[in-house]
């Protein structure tokens, strides 16, 4: 099947186009141009190459299709409908319902439909990742491709190719402009990922108009320099050329492939459709009728799907995918009998479960006044867990020695690279933004990924963190150098507002532990999260390891906040997180000696604390005690919900300064003396 489009192929292509036009028009919102222009590309890929079973859309051996150009969502929804993709329920079971019914297409962009403006993972089965913010989808696809190679290296055995999937991503001019895609493409080329194919819709149109306004580079030359195979298809309607391009990708084994497809918005239709206006808004009834006439389509029919088209998809991707899926299941059944332990790991990964005894090696740290940096403690805990959880994999954005996240033990295997796809340490380079998206791609494929950098650089990766939270992916972000306490590097590297920014993201758990044992508990908590990402904020400087025979046990961290020290009926409460817990305790000791009924609360995670019942919350922060002081070396945004409008805040509402850590902390008031002064003032105001 290497020729051009048959009459039936063309009928199916035009069905994709007309469904997209009609849906956008009915919604009076959306982007019709790209789905119309790329219908032949998507049809050729899905009908002739994509290994995907609509009746079991989550089987692990499937190819992945990522619509990075998420504004063209109707292209994907049309494909899902025509292919008859079944919806998967919340427990992972395949239902009898279509993921995208014709009614869902008619409800495009409407409340509670499965056809939102941009594709959402978890809402609509067949959407492999949430896309929309440009550059994110192609970057996630790199993570999926890395996962595919790693999974194949770990699990495949002679005669058992359990993992052999390819990853396809459909990208727009906007994807190519966003810097994250350059980061991801550079890394993919360096890693020589042969299972990755990006299809670039080279249509020269963006929202502002012609891409010539701001974009004139040779994308092909850029990707060749990255080490990609680059194939040029001069006409998006040339199905024979598209077929040859996808076949060339399949045959290429020395790196990723970029297929550049020249298209025009709503190719071949009336003049208005070749403009930026058609890219980003409905066409209007008159132009839709003109386009349908051009396609030989009944002008008065809306949302029409010819029976022949449904049959074509049923005998195409559905039949081929069903055979491939059945063969895979047979192979896996034999594999499970021969390699039960490996098969068990695969099944646990798919369920996002952990092996029995996964936390047995987590260390306990003895009391130590000099202590240890929580980044160093975190590295020891990570190493212990990784030895029990083989699919825990990750790395840092060129900060491995500083973040203490390198895995060194038998089985870790050194660095993942072009010659070693089985190692568990990923070298992301100085690419924080793409690192964040790549981690999501790894999580989509069952791995448990972590990525590390300094907390200040969380700004560079905020978009993929937000999307991971939206997609409910259990990604772990390790952020070290968590405050002005990092010292001499100065305010450019000292995070101030970053904790508040991360805490503002819904469904993200942020944890800032106060010592080594809280750090161990933090890892224990985040490893058990199945449907949300987590960010650990760890110190560069050493923090005293608290004597837990004197203070409360560190396992109180799992509830977000707990009483570290003090009486049941306090007069004043001091709340602190991270490195500021130590000066808070020193202030406590001084006040307690004076007879003040003072309580210290360690609050490493506001999110976890907010999820506790009110009885517990009130037991930690008694409502009758209004004399409260919050201590955290970060902006005070959000803390007044715990200390009240009249409460005291020892916080960092300015940028930091370049000086040794002890000097910066003293200069900005994070001392026992300043905390005592604020506590005394609170007592006087509340008596």
Helical residues (DSSP H) of 412-490, grouped into ranges: 432-444, 462-471
237: confidence class by pLDDT, cuts 50, 70, 90: very high
Q: Which of 484, 511, 544 is the last residue before a domain boundary?
A: 544
Residue 188: both structure tokens together: 């993919």
Element (H, E) at 452: strand 448-454
> For the domain that residue 646 is a member of, what is the CATH number?
3.40.50.920
Q: Which residues are annotated as a binding site for thiamine diphosphate?
A: 71, 132-134, 174, 203, 279, 457
For residue 280, the model assigns a pLDDT of 61
Q: Is residue 280 part of a domain?
A: yes
Phi and psi for 196 in degrees, rounded to 5?
Answer: -120, 130
Residues 295 and 414 in one domain: no
Residues 514 and 574 in one domain: no
Residues 193 and 122 in one domain: yes
Q: Which residues are annotated as a binding site for substrate?
A: 31, 279, 375, 402, 481, 489, 493, 540
Q: Average pLDDT, whole number, for the chain?
A: 95
For residue 276, the model assigns a pLDDT of 42
> Could you give the CA distance from residue 57 to residue 94 in angstroms, rounded to a whole number?
8
> For the domain that residue 536 is a member of, what is the CATH number?
3.40.50.970
Residues 575 and 532 in one domain: no
For residue 270, the model assigns a pLDDT of 36
Q: Which of 492, 510, 544 is the last residue before a domain boundary?
A: 544
Residues 95 and 242 in one domain: yes
Residues 442 and 467 in one domain: yes
Residues 496 and 571 in one domain: no
88: confidence class by pLDDT, cuts 50, 70, 90: very high
Q: Which residue has the tokens 């007044």?
A: 640
Helical residues (DSSP H) of 199-284, grouped into ranges: 219-226, 239-251, 276-280
Q: Is residue 358 part of a domain?
A: no
From residue 401, give the alpha-carbon distance in Å to each of 316, 376, 391.
Answer: 51, 10, 22
Residues 162 and 49 in one domain: yes
Q: Which of 544, 567, 597 is the last residue before a domain boundary?
A: 544
For range 96-123, the mean pLDDT: 97
Please, which residues have CB within 8 angstroms of residue 93's CB and are 6 or more apart in sequence? none
For residue 1, the model assigns a pLDDT of 43
Please state at what angle helix 33-48 crosses helix 7-27, rounded to 10 degrees. 140
For range 293-303, the mean pLDDT: 93
Give the number of other CB atoms < 10 A from CB of residue 232.
Answer: 14
Residues 469 and 437 in one domain: yes
268: confidence class by pLDDT, cuts 50, 70, 90: very low
Q: How many domains are there within the chain?
A: 3
> Residue 306: is its pLDDT beyond 80?
yes
Report the DSSP beta bridge partners of residue 480: 454
> Could you give the CA distance from residue 295 to residue 283 in angstroms, rounded to a whole number?
15
Please, which residues have CB within 8 angstroms of residue 60's CB and are 6 or more apart in sequence? 162, 163, 328, 346, 350, 446
> Residue 581: is its pLDDT beyond 70?
yes
Q: Which residues are annotated as a binding site?
A: 31, 71, 132-134, 173-174, 203, 205, 279, 375, 402, 457, 481, 489, 493, 540
> Could you give the CA distance from residue 486 to residue 305 in angstroms, rounded to a whole number?
62
> Could you give the CA distance from residue 48 to residue 112 in angstroms, rounded to a whole number?
33
Residues 531 and 415 in one domain: yes
Q: Is residue 361 part of a domain?
A: no
Q: For a pLDDT cut of 70, what percent of the chain falls above it?
A: 97
Q: Which residues are annotated as a binding site for Mg(2+)?
A: 173, 203, 205
> Residue 273: is its pLDDT beyond 50?
no
Parent domain of 135 = 7-326
3: confidence class by pLDDT, cuts 50, 70, 90: low
Q: Give the DSSP per-residue string, 534-575.
A: EEEE--SSEEEE--TTTS--GGGGGGS-EEEE--SS-SEEEE
Residue 656: both structure tokens together: 């930091």
User: Considering the entire predicted model, what is its pTM?
Assistant: 0.96
Helical residues (DSSP H) of 304-399, grouped into ranges: 307-313, 319-338, 340-351, 374-386
Q: Is residue 353 part of a domain?
A: no
Please, which residues have CB within 8 angstroms of residue 327's CB and are 6 or more apart in sequence? none
Of 22-36, 111-125, 384-398, the one with minimum mean pLDDT is 22-36
Residues 562 and 523 in one domain: no
Q: Is residue 66 part of a domain?
A: yes
Give the number of other CB atoms < 10 A from CB of residue 71.
Answer: 23
Q: Is residue 335 part of a domain?
A: no
Residues 186 and 238 in one domain: yes
Distance of CA 207 to the CA centre of its chain: 26
Beta-carbon-side half-sphere exposure of residue 670 (alpha carbons within 13 Å) = 26
DSSP 353: -
419 is catalytic: no
Q: For a pLDDT cut of 90, what percent of the chain falls above it?
A: 92
Q: Is residue 578 part of a domain?
A: yes
Residue among 432, 518, 521, 580 flagged as catalytic: 432
Give the number of other CB atoms < 10 A from CB of residue 531.
Answer: 11
Residue 459: both structure tokens together: 């700004």
Q: Is residue 389 part of a domain?
A: yes
Terminal Cα distance for the chain, rounded: 86
Note whether 597 and 687 are within 8 A (CB): no
Element (H, E) at 196: strand 196-202
From residue 606, give the alpha-carbon distance in Å to each of 81, 165, 266, 457, 616.
Answer: 42, 40, 50, 21, 14
């Amino acid at each position: 099947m290497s020729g051009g489009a048959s009459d039936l192929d063309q009928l199916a292509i035009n069905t994709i186009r007309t469904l997209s036009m009609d849906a956008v028009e009915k919604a009076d919102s959306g982007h019709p141009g790209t789905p119309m222009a790329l219908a032949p590309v998507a049809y050729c890929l899905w009908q002739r190459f994509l290994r995907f079973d609509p009746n079991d859309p989550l089987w692990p051996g499937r190819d992945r299709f990522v619509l990075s150009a998420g504004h063209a969502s109707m292209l994907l929804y049309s494909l899902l409908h025509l292919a008859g993709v079944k919806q998967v329920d919340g427990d992972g079971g395949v239902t009898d319902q279509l993921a995208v019914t014709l009614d869902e297409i008619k409800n495009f962009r409407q409340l509670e439909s499965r056809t939102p403006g941009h594709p959402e993972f978890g809402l609509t089965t067949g959407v492999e990742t949430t896309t929309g913010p440009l550059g994110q989808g192609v970057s996630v696809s790199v993570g999926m491709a890395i996962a595919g190679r790693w999974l194949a290296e770990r699990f495949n055995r002679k005669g058992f190719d359990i993992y052999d999937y390819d990853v396809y991503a459909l990208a727009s001019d906007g994807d190519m402009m966003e810097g994250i895609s350059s980061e991801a493409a550079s890394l993919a080329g360096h890693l020589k990922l042969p299972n990755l194919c990006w299809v670039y819709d080279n249509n020269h149109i963006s929202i502002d108009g012609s891409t010539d306004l701001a974009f004139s580079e040779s994308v092909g030359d850029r990707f060749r320099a990255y080490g990609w195979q680059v194939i040029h298809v001069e006409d998006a309607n040339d199905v024979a050329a598209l077929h040859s391009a996808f076949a060339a990708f399949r045959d290429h084994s020395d790196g990723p492939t970029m297929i550049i497809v020249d298209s025009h918005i709503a190719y071949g239709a009336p003049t208005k459709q070749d403009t930026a206006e058609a890219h980003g808004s409905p066409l209007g009834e008159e132009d839709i009728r003109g386009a349908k006439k051009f396609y030989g389509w009944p002008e008065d029919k809306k949302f029409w799907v010819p029976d022949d088209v449904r049959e074509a998809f049923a005998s195409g991707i559905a039949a081929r995918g069903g055979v491939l899926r059945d063969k895979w299941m047979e192979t896996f059944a034999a594999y499970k009998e021969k390699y039960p332990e490996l098969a068990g790991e695969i099944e646990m990964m798919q369920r996002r479960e952990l092996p029995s005894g996964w936390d047995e090696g987590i260390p306990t740290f003895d009391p130590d006044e000099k202590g240890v940096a929580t980044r160093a403690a975190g590295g020891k805990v990570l190493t212990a867990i990784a030895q029990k959880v083989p699919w825990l994999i990750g790395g840092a954005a060129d900060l491995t020695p500083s973040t203490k996240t390198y895995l060194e033990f038998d089985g870790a295997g050194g660095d993942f690279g072009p010659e070693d796809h089985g190692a568990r340490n990923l070298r992301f380079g100085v690419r924080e933004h793409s690192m964040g998206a790549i981690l999501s791609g790894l999580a989509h494929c069952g791995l448990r990924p972590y990525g590390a950098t300094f907390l200040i650089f969380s700004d560079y990766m905020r978009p993929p963190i937000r999307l991971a939270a939206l997609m409910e992916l259990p990604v772990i972000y390790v952020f070290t150098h968590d405050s002005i306490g990092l010292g001499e590097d100065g305010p450019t590297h000292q995070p101030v507002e970053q904790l508040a920014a991360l805490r503002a993201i819904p469904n993200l758990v942020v944890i800032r532990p106060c010592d080594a044992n809280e750090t161990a508990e933090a890892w224990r908590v985040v490893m058990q999260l199945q449907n949300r990402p987590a960010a650990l904020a760890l110190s560069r400087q050493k923090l005293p390891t608290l004597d837990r025979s004197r203070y409360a046990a560190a396992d109180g961290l799992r509830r977000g906040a707990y009483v570290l020290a003090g009486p049941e009926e306090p007069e004043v409460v001091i709340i602190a997180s991270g490195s500021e817990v130590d000066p808070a305790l020193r202030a406590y000791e001084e006040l307690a000696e004076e007879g003040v009924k003072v309580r210290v609360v360690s609050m490493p995670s506001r999110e976890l604390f907010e999820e506790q019942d009110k009885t517990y919350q009130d037991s930690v922060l008694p409502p009758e005690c209004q004399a409260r002081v919050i201590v955290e070396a970060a902006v005070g945004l959000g803390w007044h919900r715990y200390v009240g409008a009249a409460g005291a805040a020892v916080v960092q509402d300015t940028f930091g300064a370049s000086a040794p850590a002890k000097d910066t902390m003293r200069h900005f008031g994070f001392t026992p003396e300043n905390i005592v002064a604020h506590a005394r003032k609170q007592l006087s105001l509340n008596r």
